[in-house]
Amino acid sequence: MELWQQMLRQSIDSADDLVRRFNFDKETAERLNSLFHIRINPYYLSLIRYPGDPIWLQSMPNAVELEDDGLPEDPLNEDGDSPVPSITHRYPDRVLFLVTSQCSMYCRFCTRKRKVSDSTKISMKFIQDGLDYIRAHTEVRDVIVSGGDPLMLTDIMLEKVLKGLREIPHVEIIRVHTKMPAVLPQRITPQLIEMMKKYHPIYVNVHFNHPWECTPEAKHACDLLADGGFPLGNQMVLMKGVNDDPDVVKDLNRKLLVMRVRPYYIYQADMVKSTNHFRTPIRVGLEIMDKLRGHTSGLAVPYFVIDAPGGGGKIPILPQYVLYHDDEKIVLRNYKYEVFEYDEKKGETGPIQTEVDARFLRKAPVIMRERKRRVSKRKARASVNPQVPLAEVEPDKPIQ
């Protein structure tokens, strides 16, 4: 048994554990565990600094979850876009492929509570059905392997999934979405890396929400992945009391870049049942974006997106940089709130008049520069030998 598997066995994963270790009321603990299973592995538990801190809020159940917030279990209508139980096919050329219901730590803000932690929701048959579906749909070129957390599978089981996907000719890109580097980095082993390398190109999206998660262990896990040739992107969920502060997000994203992880998305928290206490107003996300752009490296600026309720997909949202726009001009402001005007009319260029074959029109600026150089050269030679007509000094030659 590997270290990460041993650590999982030592997780807090029952109502009795909450009562014994954290003085939860027994009835409340049992109701919370029934609502959404509890699992906090020893590594992630060690990151908690005090009750109610950003790590605690993400992992520890809260009695407020028992309140009826009126939110749906499947806010993104993933089930409505599921032709087979393990597949969500929403976008034209890519699918979400769920290969496990298990996670090493059950996030209290989880958008898939209806499936995650329930082993009956995803089975080997469902995985095979997913592979068959992808094989039958040649428009699918990009597969997102998720769950649960796909790295909860053993190396042998995960390889069956990756091998099955790579054997499908039209699948070009495989993406593995995992929270392991943040919550149980011991799962990222040299053996795992060597296995996954056989099925490149594979992109890995990770899930860090707070700078306290960027530990030496997490950096080592990300180093192994990056050294293995896996491009890394981060998907952060914006949450009240966890990371709803521009300075916290800036610190997180800077630390991620040092770990060779590109900040990719900031998600507005989904409107999923029992998670309303995590949600922030949209203006909070816009303020964070406003304090990132121009104030830190562009590499540290992700997209802020809302995953539209009902299955509308991810929609990017930006602060208001365009103050005015018509056919004559556009008025913009920068990160310092300085205002600039860009003249649309002067910026326009009409068709380039040239006798060059239409195949080379995309090179028109280079062609025009070359012609000017040749004319200048002919004039120089003509000035040295005025007896020679200008047109005879160096006739135009086709531009190769």
pLDDT of residue 71: 92
- 257's CB contacts (< 8 A; 6+ apart) are 263, 297, 299, 300
Radius of gyration of the chain (CA): 28
| Stated pTM of the model | 0.84
pLDDT digits (tens, 9 = 90+) for 58-92: 999 999 999 998 999 999 999 999 999 999 999 99
Which 3 state secondary structure label does DSSP give 338?
coil
Q: Which residue among 53, 69, 91, 262 is the active-site one?
A: 91
- 220's CB contacts (< 8 A; 6+ apart) are 185, 188
Q: Which residue among 260, 291, 314, 374 is the active-site one?
A: 314
357 a catalytic residue = no
Helix (H) or strand (E) holding 205: strand 202-206
Please, is 243 exposed, middle or buried when counting C-beta atoms within 10 Å of its C-beta (0-12, 13-18, 19+)?
Answer: buried
- Position 106, amino acid: Y
pLDDT of residue 395: 45
pLDDT of residue 379: 61
Look up tokens 């290969």; give the residue.
99
Which 3 state secondary structure label does DSSP give 297?
coil
Which 3 state secondary structure label does DSSP give 340?
strand
- 152's CB contacts (< 8 A; 6+ apart) are 100, 102, 103, 104
Q: Which residue among 94, 179, 250, 273 is the active-site one?
A: 94
pLDDT digits (tens, 9 = 90+) for 100-111: 999 999 999 999
214 a catalytic residue = no
- 65's CB contacts (< 8 A; 6+ apart) are 32, 35, 36, 108, 274, 275, 277
327 a catalytic residue = no
- Position 325, amino acid: H
Q: Which residue among 43, 103, 219, 378 is the active-site one?
A: 103
Per-residue confidence of the chain (400 residues) as pLDDT tens digits? Answer: 899 999 999 999 999 999 999 999 999 999 999 999 999 999 999 999 999 999 999 999 999 999 998 999 999 999 999 999 999 999 999 999 999 999 999 999 999 999 998 888 888 899 999 999 999 999 999 999 999 999 999 999 999 999 999 999 999 999 999 999 999 999 999 999 999 999 999 999 999 999 999 999 999 999 999 999 999 999 999 999 999 999 999 999 999 999 999 999 999 999 999 999 999 999 999 999 999 999 999 999 999 999 998 989 999 999 999 988 888 889 888 888 888 888 887 764 344 344 434 443 334 344 444 445 555 666 666 555 555 454 444 444 443 3
Which 3 state secondary structure label does DSSP give 343?
strand
Written as six digits, the tokens of 219 are 């950096």
Q: Which residue among 110, 121, 265, 290 is the active-site one?
A: 110
Q: Which residue among 74, 244, 251, 307 is the active-site one?
A: 307
Let me know: does 138 contact 144? Beta carbons within 8 Å: no
Q: Which CATH superfamily is domain 79-317 in?
A: Aldolase class I (3.20.20.70)
pLDDT of residue 23: 94
Q: Which residue among 39, 107, 108, 187 is the active-site one?
A: 107
Compute the residue count for the chain.
400
What are the φ/ψ torsions at residue 11 (nearest 5 degrees)?
A: -70, 155
90 a catalytic residue = yes
pLDDT of residue 95: 98
Cis, peptide link before residue 263, omega less than 30° from 0: no
Let me know: does 167 contact 174? Beta carbons within 8 Å: no
Let me know: does 238 contact 244? Beta carbons within 8 Å: yes
Apex 45 CA angle, 7 and 306, nearest 5? 105
- Strand 303-308 and strand 262-268: the pairing is parallel
Report the Cα–Cα distance between both ends of the chain, in Å, rounded. 65
314 a catalytic residue = yes
112 a catalytic residue = yes
DSSP state string for 133-190: HHHH-TT--EEEEESS-GGGS-HHHHHHHHHHHHTSTT--EEEEE--HHHH-GGG--H
pLDDT of residue 78: 92
- Position 213, amino acid: E
Closest C-alpha to 55, from 241, 180, 237, 218: 241
Written as six digits, the tokens of 20 are 């014994």
307 a catalytic residue = yes
pLDDT of residue 392: 46
Q: Which residue among 16, 17, 69, 90 is the active-site one?
A: 90
What is the C-alpha to C-alpha distance for residues 377 and 369, in angstroms, rounded to an integer? 12
pLDDT of residue 134: 98
